[in-house]
């Protein structure tokens, strides 16, 4: 009977995890990156949804390990999430994400899911992981404030005449190249570890590894800058659209990497020891499939709606939103921090809004959104703790 109950709870946890991954793929975190390109007529809506799904899957599998391990094992100390605790946390997550997607509200899923995992973990006797909480809290607090100034500055530079737009866009492409060269991927490092393209390539170069990695990084940045500069010289409008497509692809990849852990992290403790390979790999593939299907089945509607907003922004402002968002999201992934793309994008959009006059920025709405995010963290924590405690008590009575 006990084995049957555990099996049923495991099935519930898997179903809730898959639904959470599906809703992540269907939601704005997967569709927002390509909305600017669709608004600029650089790609069709259906093709964008198809590409977003593939990139989200790739990001989840290749770069999602750090956030998945944090959500699954780093939020609570002293205990391992049980099948019941994982099922409760994932059910709360799936319900909360689905409510945000279907109601059309910018739900900060990272806040709610982190809260629910901590809540169930505390309810089963775990100890708070204060070091992890401090790191996550600082990132959540600093990101929306820090992402706005770069977006503000880029908007002014791209709209102004002080710097040639072609040179500026080429230089921005080089900065993106620096980040890409140092993105860490699961299969580039030793078993169970991640490594960046620069680090992996530098392993075959003579001299200190740090110097080799820096050399590879500069080489990638130089090549990307040269390619974009040549493209801009030939046809600046078409090159700008292609640059938007490339940025959208990178952000969609990053969205899959940063979000998959929220859906499948609680599954990690349940899978470890039951598969002959590193448990994080099948968990990431499972989550990636959910994101892929969600993007293909439901993202076109969201992309079409968002593209209308981005068409009003135009290519320049879209670039000013996407580049800082990509950089700050990759910082979060590097440290394994569960993140909210809505939080990052809203901060970047606010920076752009202030740069063009501030009339389009509703400070009241920003405050209300911030309060809602904090409320979602408390909601997840309280509901997770309460449901886990109630379930244990009910089980003892029965």
Nearest-CA neighbor of 303 among 19, 46, 22, 21? 46
41: left (phi over 0), alpha (psi -120 to 50) or beta: left
Query: Residue for token digits 């793309």?
Result: 341
Residues 6+ apart with CB under 8 A from 288: 21, 56, 57, 58, 59, 60, 61, 64, 256, 260
User: Would you say the C-alpha torsion 87, 128, 331, 216 has a positive or negative sign?
Assistant: negative
Cβ–Cβ < 8 Å for 259, 24: yes
End-to-end Cα separation, the chain, in angstroms: 13
- DSSP codes joined into one string, 176-202: HHHHHHT-EEGGGSSTT--EEHHHHHH
Nearest-CA neighbor of 29 among 123, 145, 110, 119? 110
pLDDT in tens, the chain (398 residues): 445 566 787 888 888 888 888 888 877 555 667 776 776 677 787 888 888 889 999 999 999 999 999 998 899 998 888 888 888 888 887 777 677 666 655 567 788 889 999 999 999 989 999 999 999 999 998 988 899 999 999 988 888 777 788 889 999 999 999 999 999 988 887 776 788 888 888 887 776 778 888 999 999 999 999 999 999 888 888 888 888 889 889 988 998 898 888 888 888 888 876 665 567 888 899 999 999 998 888 777 777 666 665 556 677 888 888 899 999 999 999 999 988 777 888 888 888 888 877 665 566 767 777 777 788 888 889 988 998 888 877 665 55
CA distance 199 to 205: 10
Here the tokens at position 24 are 């992540």
Global model pTM greater than 0.85:
yes
CA distance 224 to 220: 6
Nearest-CA neighbor of 299 among 37, 8, 24, 13? 24
Domain ranges of the chain: 2-161+254-397
């Amino acid at each position: 009977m006990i084995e049957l109950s555990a099996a049923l709870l495991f099935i519930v946890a898997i179903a809730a995890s898959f639904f959470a991954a599906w809703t992540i793929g269907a939601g704005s975190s997967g569709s927002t990156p390509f909305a600017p390109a669709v608004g600029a007529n650089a790609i069709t809506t259906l093709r964008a949804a198809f590409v977003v799904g593939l990139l989200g899957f790739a990001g989840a599998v290749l770069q999602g390990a750090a956030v998945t391990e944090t959500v699954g094992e780093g939020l609570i100390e002293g205990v391992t999430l049980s099948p019941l605790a994982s099922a409760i946390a994932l059910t709360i997550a799936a319900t909360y994400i689905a409510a945000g997607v279907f109601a059309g509200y910018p739900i900060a899923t990272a806040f709610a899911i982190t809260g629910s995992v901590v809540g169930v973990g505390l309810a089963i006797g775990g100890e708070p992981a204060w070091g992890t909480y401090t790191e996550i809290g600082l990132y959540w607090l600093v990101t929306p404030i820090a992402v706005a100034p770069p977006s503000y500055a880029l908007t002014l530079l791209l709209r102004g005449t002080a710097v040639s737009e072609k040179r500026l866009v080429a230089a921005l492409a080089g900065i993106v190249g620096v980040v890409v060269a140092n993105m860490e991927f699961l299969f580039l490092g030793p078993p169970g570890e991640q490594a960046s393209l620069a680090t992996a390539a530098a392993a075959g170069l003579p001299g200190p590894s740090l110097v080799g990695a820096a050399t590879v990084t500069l080489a990638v940045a130089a090549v990307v800058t040269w390619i974009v500069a040549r493209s801009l010289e030939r046809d600046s409008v078409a090159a700008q659209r292609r640059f938007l497509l490339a940025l959208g692809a990178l952000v969609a990849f990053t969205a899959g990497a940063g979000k998959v852990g929220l859906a499948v992290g609680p599954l990690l403790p349940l899978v470890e020891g039951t598969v002959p390979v590193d448990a994080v790999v099948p968990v990431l593939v499972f989550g990636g499939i959910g994101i892929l299907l969600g993007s293909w089945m439901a993202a076109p509607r969201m992309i079409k709606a968002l593209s209308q907003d981005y068409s009003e922004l135009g290519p320049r402002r879209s670039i000013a939103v996407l580049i800082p968002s990509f950089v700050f999201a990759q910082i979060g992934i590097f440290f394994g921090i569960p993140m909210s793309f809505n939080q990052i994008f809203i901060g970047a959009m606010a920076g752009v809004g202030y740069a063009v006059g501030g009339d389009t920025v509703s400070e009241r709405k920003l405050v209300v959104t911030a309060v809602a995010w904090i409320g979602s963290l408390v909601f997840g924590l309280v509901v997770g703790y309460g449901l886990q405690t109630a379930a244990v008590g009910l089980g003892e009575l029965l």
